[in-house]
Amino acid sequence: MSTTSARSLRIGEVAELTGTTPRTIRYYEEIGLLPATDAREQGKHRVYSEAEVERIREIVKLRDLLGLSLEQLSKLLDAETARAELRREYRQTDEPGERARILGQSLEHIGTQLQLVCERRAELDKLERELRERQDHVRRVLAEIDS
Amino acid sequence: MSTTSARSLRIGEVAELTGTTPRTIRYYEEIGLLPATDAREQGKHRVYSEAEVERIREIVKLRDLLGLSLEQLSKLLDAETARAELRREYRQTDEPGERARILGQSLEHIGTQLQLVCERRAELDKLERELRERQDHVRRVLAEIDS
DNA sequence: TTGCTCCTCACGTCACGTGAGGTGGC
DNA sequence: TTGCTCCTCACGTCACGTGAGGTGGC
């Protein structure tokens, strides 16, 4: 983690870094999945920071791996956004009870995502087992022929 | 596995059994992912067998769990179809060399699918690890507060 | 200044969803 | 015969892809 001085990136670079396309990034902005890049005059280029690249990487990962619509994904990520908000609040309070409460919510959001991931994993595991069973079966028959 | 006497099913029942919709099944027929139900006069109802239900279940599973387009899926399933074809040939030959060759191809097709599944699983595992790391981190901080 | 990337419409596409209006089959 | 499910268009939608024609910024 080098202390990259907050470089500002253009949409094409961000697309490359995140494995998407400029069109996809604009579309996500259009539907509110990404915030509109700050105070841009009509026709001027969009400018992104590393933080936004991270956000898009996370969106893409969840989009590809869980089977959610962008609307469902949006709700899940609102939770993420809420977490970021909470972290800001967190830094502004010294009260341990308040800090614990904020961290508790954090845990809940992570838990929601973990559950979705685990459900998917279970389905994939089942598919893998089925395929391996077939594989074993074919191999056994092959071995019988060879004997 | 009860010896279900080859019941014939209608599209709505098949949709229910496979977690899809009639529209989806018709669409898959339209693009050739499913064979057109045999010799049906214009306007008459489609009729399905248990075997076709299994085929659709497999399509749905692969569609949901791997991130493939229906065209890519179609190619993958052509391999499946080829396997079914091979099994028929298989039953018609007694020559062990021929039988072994057919089984070898079978193994190859299963291998292709298994590789796709494993790639997905690796990505999901990585996401899970990341989420668990965050979870652990938050938990440690919480524990510190409580002490 | 040149050249590349970016911009905004706007229409196309994939994988279906959703009626409209009509017929099949238990 | 009634009622439900099915049929075939055909247009709508989601998540972008793909030009067209024009401008921004190193």
Q: Chain B within 8 Å of A35 (Cβ-Cβ)?
A: no
Among chain B residues, the shortest Cα distance to A123 is held by: B65
Contact yes or no for A9/A48 (Cβ under 8 A): yes
Reduced to 3 states, what is the DSSP secondary structure of residue B136? helix
Q: Which secondary-structure segment (H or E) carries A105? A: helix A96-146
Q: Specify the residue for token string 């949006």.
A: A74
* Whether residue A1 has pLDDT greater than 60: no
Instruction: From chain B, pick out residues whose CB is under 8 angstroms from the CB of A64.
Output: 67, 123
The shortest C-alpha distance from B41 to chain A (Å) reads 37
Q: How far does the CA of residue A58 sit from the closest CA of chain B (Å)?
A: 10
How would residue A103 be classed by pLDDT, with cut points 50, 70 and 90?
A: confident
Q: Distance (Å, rounded) from C-alpha A101 to C-alpha A90?
A: 9
Helix ranges, B1-49 (H): 11-18, 22-30
pLDDT of residue A5: 53
In angstroms, the CA B33 to CA B17 distance is 18
Mean pLDDT score across all residues of chain B: 89
Q: What is the DSSP string of A115-136?
A: HHHHHHHHHHHHHHHHHHHHHH
The 3-state DSSP class for residue B82 equals helix
CA A29 to C1' C12, in angstroms, rounded, equals 21
Chain B positions touching A127 (Cβ under 8 A) are 61-62, 65, 117
Answer whether residue A49 shows pLDDT above 50.
yes
Indicate yes or no: pTM above 0.85. yes
Question: For B34-62, what is each residue's pLDDT tens digit?
Answer: 998 767 888 899 999 999 999 999 999 99
Q: Under 8 Å CB-to-CB from A44, ≥6 apart: which residues?
A: none
pLDDT at A4 over 60: no
Amino acid present at A13: E
In a 13 Å sphere around the CA of A58, the CA atoms on its Cβ side amount to: 20
CA of A62 to C1' of C8 (A): 29
The spacing between the Cα labelled CA in A22 and the C1' in D19, in angstroms, equals 15
Chain B residues whose beta carbon lies within 8 Å of the beta carbon of residue A113: 131
Q: Provide the terminal-to-terminal Cα distance of chain A, rounded to the nearest Å.
A: 58
Based on the number of CB atoms within 10 Å of its own CB, is A117 exposed (0-12), middle (13-18) or buried (19 or more)? buried
- Which pLDDT score is estimated for A45? 95
The residues pairing with A9 across neighbouring beta strands, listed in sequence order, are: A48
Average pLDDT, integer, range A64-85: 87
Quote the percentage of chain B above a pLDDT of 90.
65
Q: How far is B135 from chain A (nearest CA, A)?
A: 6
**Of the ranges B106-110, B120-124, B129-133, which one carries the lowest mean pLDDT score?**
B106-110
Q: How confident is the model at residue B26 (pLDDT cuts 50, 70, 90)?
A: very high
